[in-house]
Amino acid sequence: MSGTIIPTRWTAQDVMRIKAAPESYAPLITAQPRVIDSLDLWDYWPVQHADGHPAQIAGGTLFISLSAPILPDPDARHAMARMRLLHNVGANWHDLGPVLPDGLSPGSREWSGSAMLSPDGVTITLYYTVAGIRDEAEISFVQRLFQTSARLSVEKDSVILSPWATPKECVTPDDVHYSSDMTGGGAIGSIKAFRDPAFFRDPADGAEYLLFAGSLARSTSAWNGAVGIARRIAENGWQILPPLVDADGLNNELERPHVIVRNGLYYLFWSTQTKVFAPSGPAGPTGLYGMVAERLSGPWRPLNGSGLVFGNPPAAPYQAYSWLVLPDLRVQSFVDLVGLTEPPRDVAQARAHFGGTPAPELQIMLDGERAWLA
């Protein structure tokens, strides 16, 4: 990283610049076929090279997705999420089963992360969120960042990751920059964050980082989301650093943050939802947001003056979530609640409208501080 981090705050004044124009919204999603009939899938990411490009493996791309059985209440999926390995070849998806063996992970469930292929194509390193504690009597909101690795082998058309190393905790909250108290009252939208590790190698100097969704320590606001970062200082060691961006007083969750470099500029993206903006201030649509800078350390400037890249359309404000921007500017996400203009009135309606499968890919364009859908 070139220079000391220059703290950047995403503010209410930024959000007030959001323009309710057609180009600000993604196209409507129609019902999409499920990748796996018996499972809900969400928050998926490809196995990538260190430069961020998806790795080509056995004629396709390996994806890791959060998964859960199809439950009466789709929100209940978060309490039993496990990572699932998928192989995408053209228009076809192949289910390769759970990523990690039963009992290997030290939590009660597994949440989002990133996965990198070694330069020699032999090893996949997985960074992910361990949620809860193994065998806990009551579901907790503890979130820890872990890493593990496995050997990749391809036998005919079969992809195998084995054996997995014992997962090791890689970054811990310091209660100086990031809070270790993650309960936030426990209600959906109020839970605090220390999750979603995303690997990034800075082309400026080759240094390696993990970005993550965090919550500011020592904040006086209940809405204190932040984009956290840690730098690798040894083969298995990471130094925690101050946040790149925070939304203190504005927003509780800057989820799945990640960085790409395009035309010499650094672009930081995150996802957030209308319901996690502070009720006392302006709220943007559920959507993809981002900032731009000349270097990873900042200072960061909101894209389009507001931070909004695009949101779900007003006719379907809950249709998709958890966007990931790839270096070629393709954007991946999952189908959330399709065809609803208001929050679901009950569990049955939520289940009837929940997609639980990959959403159609989108494409964005970037030009300096401007970003728009192609």
Task: Write down the residue that tokens 């979603």 correspond to.
Answer: 196
Task: Please state, rounded to an integer, the average pLDDT across all residues of the chain.
Answer: 95
Burial class (CB in 10 A: 0-12, 13-18, 19+), 61: middle
CA 201 to chain centroid, in Å, comes to 17
- Enumerate residues 6+ apart whose C-beta is below 8 A from 309: 269, 287, 288, 289, 290, 303, 364, 371, 372
123 CB-contact burial (10 Å; exposed 0-12 / middle 13-18 / buried 19+):
middle
Q: What pLDDT sits at residue 2?
A: 66
Question: DSSP 3-state assignment of 148?
Answer: strand
Query: Nearest 10 degrees: CA dihedral of 56, 59, 64, 65?
Result: 130
10-63: pLDDT as tens digits: 999 999 999 888 889 999 999 899 999 999 999 999 999 999 999 999 999 999
pLDDT of residue 22: 82
Residue 288: strand pairing partners: 271, 310
pLDDT value of position 187: 61
Angle in degrees, CA 92, 46, 39, rounded to 5 = 60
CA nearest neighbour of 332 among 56, 59, 57, 88 = 88
Structure tokens, 112: 């989002």
Torsion sign (Cα): 309, 352, 195, 9: positive
For residue 90, how many other CB atoms are within 10 A of its CB?
Answer: 7
Provide the pLDDT for residue 368. Answer: 98
CB-side neighbour CA atoms (13 Å) of 181 = 11
Distance of CA 368 to the CA centre of its chain: 23
pLDDT of residue 191: 87
Looking at the chain, the number of H-run helices and the number of E-run strands are 2, 24
Low-confidence ranges of the chain (pLDDT < 70): 2, 184-189
Q: What's the CA gap between 78 and 49, in Å, rounded?
A: 28
Give bridge partners of residue 259 from the DSSP assignment: 268
